[in-house]
Amino acid sequence: MGQSRILLLAGFGGLLGIMALAGLDAVQILREIQTRNDRLQREFVERSRVLSQIRSALYVSGTYVRDYLLEPNVQNAAAYRADLDRVRRRMDEDLHHLAQLTARQKPPLIGTLRRTLADYWQLLDPVFRWTPEERHQQGYIFLRDRVFPRRTALFDIADQIGRIDEQQLQLGNQRVAELFQEFRNRMVVALVVALATGLFLATFSTRSILRLERDARAKYVDIVAARQELKELSARMASAQEDERRSISRELHDEVGQSLSAVLLGLSNMTAAVPPPVARQLAPYVSEIRRLTESSIRCIRNMALLLRPSMLDDIGLLPALQWQARETAQRTGLVVHVAAAELPEDLPEAFKTCIYRVVQEALHNVTRHAGAKQVRITLQVEGGRLRLVIQDDGRGFDPRVSRGLGLLGMQERVSHLNGTFDVRSRPMKGALLSIELPLPEES
């Protein structure tokens, strides 16, 4: 049993551990996926923005070069050159930033773009030394044949970098998808392990529970059998006790009682046989002997009736109960009412004995413990069941706490006959005892 408990605890602990590790691993992978995806999107957006700025600067630079070459006014041309210098510096900064953003990939086109852009600016340097007449005469041809082709080449390189950037984004998304696939695979493995562990635990627990149920069922059967044996033994003991009481009662009545009656008769014969003077001398002694003998006869008769009233066997249950009530009232001053309906004539002996003993024990308990003034005994037949109710107006008690041997004995007697036994009482509210016995079909 101890090993089974250890295995169950270890199994459930392992299952919880697997679930906890799987949860932590899932959180870590999801965090990594989220971080990687955010970084990819952020870097792609930033590179796209820088490339867009470079394209815009290239377009603006071409416009400024055109305006510079075609502008006859020296001051306006100087302003266009200043704007072009600002565009050049901004493009250099954007190109440096783009190189930093693509440092991990190190695409060769960044170097190509840098060199081509340097050639582009180097191409423009001689133009700034031209006179207005030279700009007017050669500007259009220079723009068409030299500047625009170089600018178009720069646009092509920027477009290629943009396509490579999109490819890098696709590769990053593919890596994110691979991480998701790895996450799913790990979750499947964790789920399979958890299900296998759970199946093992369920099987092991079910077998343990079934084994415990079998053991409990076997113990229950043993307990029921032992209880039935105790019940049968108790019934046999009660029957033997009643037989012994009946035998002792008859022995006292027939033997001892008759012997004492013979003593009284012998005293009378002796008094009549002796001379009158002697009879007068013996009279005090004879009177004392007669008194003691008569007292002994009454005591023997009461003992015999208490052990087994002959009227219970001779004239029935109801007269025996009424005699019991009268004896209790005379001895204790308690008012005892007996109300009984007509009982079946073929009421079994066991039922008569059970009812009589329950009433006898109940009256004994009332006189000793209840402090009652009156008791009411009701006996009736209802729906094939014999019902006895005993109610007193005493101080009452708590049946859950005060349940002595007398009540247990009464309950055992009733249980032997498959009856029901109920006691209801509250402190200072009296007590009510009721039993019901199923009558045999012939009754």
Q: 323: buried, middle or exposed (CB in 10 Å: 19+, 13-18, 0-12)?
A: middle
Q: 206: buried, middle or exposed (CB in 10 Å: 19+, 13-18, 0-12)?
A: exposed
Q: How do beta strands 431-438 and 420-425 pair?
A: antiparallel
The structure tokens 């002996």 sit at 349
- Enclosing H/E stretch for 11: helix 2-70
**Which among 145, 174, 161, 148 has a CA at the least distance from the CA of 37?**
174
CA 202/CA 15 separation, integer angstroms: 12
Q: 290: buried, middle or exposed (CB in 10 Å: 19+, 13-18, 0-12)?
A: middle
Strand partners of residue 392: 375, 431
How does pLDDT run along the chain (443 residues), one tens digit per residue? 556 666 666 666 666 777 777 777 777 777 777 777 777 777 777 777 777 777 777 777 777 777 777 777 778 878 877 887 888 788 778 777 777 777 665 567 677 777 777 777 777 777 777 777 777 777 777 777 777 777 777 777 667 766 766 766 677 677 777 777 877 787 788 778 778 877 877 787 788 778 888 888 888 888 888 777 776 776 677 667 666 766 776 666 667 767 777 777 777 777 777 787 877 777 787 788 878 887 887 787 777 666 666 666 666 788 888 888 888 888 888 888 888 877 777 788 888 888 888 888 888 888 887 778 888 999 888 878 888 998 888 887 777 666 666 777 788 888 888 888 888 887 777 888 898 888 887 54
CATH top class, domain 315-438: alpha beta
**Token pair belonging to 72:** 């006859």
| φ/ψ (deg, to 5) at 336 | -120, 120
Q: Report in angstroms the alpha-carbon separations of 326 from 49, 319, 329, 405.
A: 118, 10, 5, 25
CA 55/CA 49 separation, integer angstroms: 10
Task: Specify the pLDDT at position 10.
Answer: 66
User: Domain-by-domain residue ranges, the chain?
Assistant: 2-205, 315-438
Task: Specify the pLDDT at position 236.
Answer: 73
Strand partners of residue 388: 379, 435
Task: Specify the pLDDT at position 410.
Answer: 80
Task: Specify the pLDDT at position 169.
Answer: 67
Task: Specify the pLDDT at position 106.
Answer: 53
- Phi and psi based region of residue 422 (left: phi greater than 0; alpha: psi -120 to 50; beta: remaining): beta
Task: Specify the pLDDT at position 443.
Answer: 46
Within 10 angstroms of residue 366's Cβ, the number of other Cβ atoms is: 25
- Contacts (Cβ under 8 Å, ≥6 apart) of 130: 138
Q: Where are the alpha helices (DSSP H) in 252-385?
A: 257-273, 276-307, 310-314, 317-332, 349-365
Contact 139, 70 (CB under 8 A): yes
Contact 155, 147 (CB under 8 A): no
Within 10 angstroms of residue 143's Cβ, the number of other Cβ atoms is: 18
- Contacts (Cβ under 8 Å, ≥6 apart) of 409: 361
Confidence (pTM):
0.47
Q: Which amino acid is at 285?
A: Y
